[in-house]
Structure 1
Amino acid sequence: MNKEKPDLANSAVVIIDVQSDYISDTRTLLEQQQASLLEQFPHFPDNIRSLLENARKNKVPVIHIREKDNNKKSTWIPWWNKLHPPGNIALGEGSPEPYAKELKNEAVFIKWTYDLFHSIGDEFEAYLKCNNIKRLYMCGVLTKACVMFSANSAFCKGYEVYILEDCCADRNKAHHDAILTIYDGYHIKVINSKNLWESTKITN
């Protein structure tokens, strides 16, 4: 894990899919998933709460991304159902977990597939450019899916991309650890969210 303490200027925290259908839903897990997310990442809610509290206190913009799937726009569903028997996954319904609810002044974008840029790229990038945001601190669930898909696209779009590892979670901890280890320092940087607020300078 990279221990650099990055600058918060021109930055935003992007919280991806911290919603009930992916976290507190207890429907059948896929064969590759070890256990429910909160069994493996019990501190995840507290870490998200702390991240939001610190971002708001330090006046770092917070952007909430949520998934709301539908059969018209979510064109990946038929292939997914061939890979995994139907009924084994809860489709996104967009309801946030209580500890991740937005404030009135915080942006919320609704996507319909893993990659937020594929779903809402033009709208999302217009918001970033309007607010002079060039650096993204990304987190949420699932680490190997929506978080990493979106982080990869952010890199391709020219943003500086950090993953807040303690504010990410998956239903398979081995996958979470492996994906962050593979990509850390290659085209993204993996840091602990606490490093954002310790001796971090904010400049314009």
Structure 2
Amino acid sequence: MSEILLAIDMQNGFMSEKCRHIIPTVIKLIEHFLAAGKLVEFTRFINTADSNYVKLINWSRLMHEPETSIIDELQPYINNNIFDKPYYSAFTENFSSFIYLNKISKIYLCGVETDSCIFKIAIDSFERGIEPVIIEDACFSDGGQQAHDAGIFLLKRNIGKNQIKMTDKVLEKMS
């Protein structure tokens, strides 16, 4: 069984003051996973002018740097392990191939946005037979606490309440 930590969309354009409190927790997780010899991967959302984000919800951010760049605090941990994605899910062709080739059976999720990207990646993992684990205190939403809580509520309902964990419990199980 191979496990990864997936840090989702920890980018300048998503990292508002509402979300910055998760950065130390995400770093703690990354360091523990790496020390345990586990894979740590990143996703990066890149919007396009012809996307439904622009056409349907009039949202045209995260098309260019510096918005699309992974935050400075995480730069020391990036080693060509970024999966670019043009939509909520990480399951692009490249990421799906990576999952298959590395026989990934469990994905720990942290990052932003709990109510959209994290939610979608967790559901997609679940439907592919990969166990998703959402690290609740290492996730947040730019929409604020209500959006984060809504995402967690729906995740508990759709993938199981036992798939939502706190950082300390995840790290405790690793040691």
User: Do they fold alike, i.e. is TM over 0.5?
Assistant: yes
Query: Distance between the aligned counterparts of 1:178 and 1:70, measured in 2?
Result: 27
Question: One-letter code of the match for 1:14?
Answer: L
Q: 1:199 to 1:163 in 2, by over 3 A?
A: closer
Q: Which residue of 1 aligns with 2:9?
A: 17
8 Å CA contact 1:102, 1:108 repeated in 2:
no
Match 2:152 to one of 161, 180, 186 = 180
The Cα of 1:183 is off from its aligned counterpart by 2.4
Q: Of Structure 1 and Structure 2, which has the larger fraction of its residues in helix?
A: 2
The Cα of 1:108 is off from its aligned counterpart by 0.9
3-state secondary structure, aligned to 2:109 = strand
The Cα of 1:51 is off from its aligned counterpart by 1.0
8 Å CA contact 1:22, 1:92 repeated in 2:
no
How many residues are treated as equivalent by the alignment? 169
Q: Of Structure 1 and Structure 2, which has the larger fraction of its residues in strand?
A: 2
The Cα of 1:186 is off from its aligned counterpart by 4.1
Query: Distance between the aligned counterparts of 1:105 and 1:76, measured in 2?
Result: 29
Which string of whole-angstrom CA distances, capped at 9 and with x for unpartnered residues, describes residues 61-102 of structure 1? 011000111124x33320011xxxx6xx63354201112226
* Higher relative contact order structure (alpha carbons within 8 Å, sequence separation ≥ 6): 1
Q: 1:76 to 1:199 in 2, by over 3 A?
A: closer
Query: Distance between the aligned counterparts of 2:70 and 2:173, measured in 1?
Result: 31
Q: Which residue of 1 aligns with 2:164?
A: 190
3-state secondary structure, aligned to 1:78 = helix
Gaps of 5+ in 2: none
* 1:118-157 correspondence to structure 2 within 5 Å: 120=92, 122-157=93-128
Query: Distance between the aligned counterparts of 2:76 and 2:156, measured in 1?
Result: 29
Q: 1:10 to 1:169 in 2, by over 3 A?
A: same
Matched, 1:58 2:36: yes
The Cα of 1:167 is off from its aligned counterpart by 0.8
Q: TM-score, structure 2 length as denominator?
A: 0.86
Q: Which residue of 1 aligns with 2:83?
A: 109
Identity %: 23
Query: Distance between the aligned counterparts of 1:128 and 1:59, measured in 2?
Result: 17
Query: Distance between the aligned counterparts of 2:63 and 2:119, measured in 1?
Result: 17
8 Å CA contact 1:12, 1:135 repeated in 2:
yes
3-state secondary structure, aligned to 1:136 = strand
The Cα RMSD (Å) is: 2.1
Q: For the pair shown, which has the larger CA radius of gyration, 1 or 2?
A: 1
Q: 1:154 to 1:199 in 2, by over 3 A?
A: closer
Query: Distance between the aligned counterparts of 2:52 and 2:153, measured in 1?
Result: 30
Match 2:25 to one of 47, 72, 78 = 47
Q: Which residue of 2 aligns with 1:37?
A: 18
8 Å CA contact 2:25, 2:137 repeated in 1:
yes
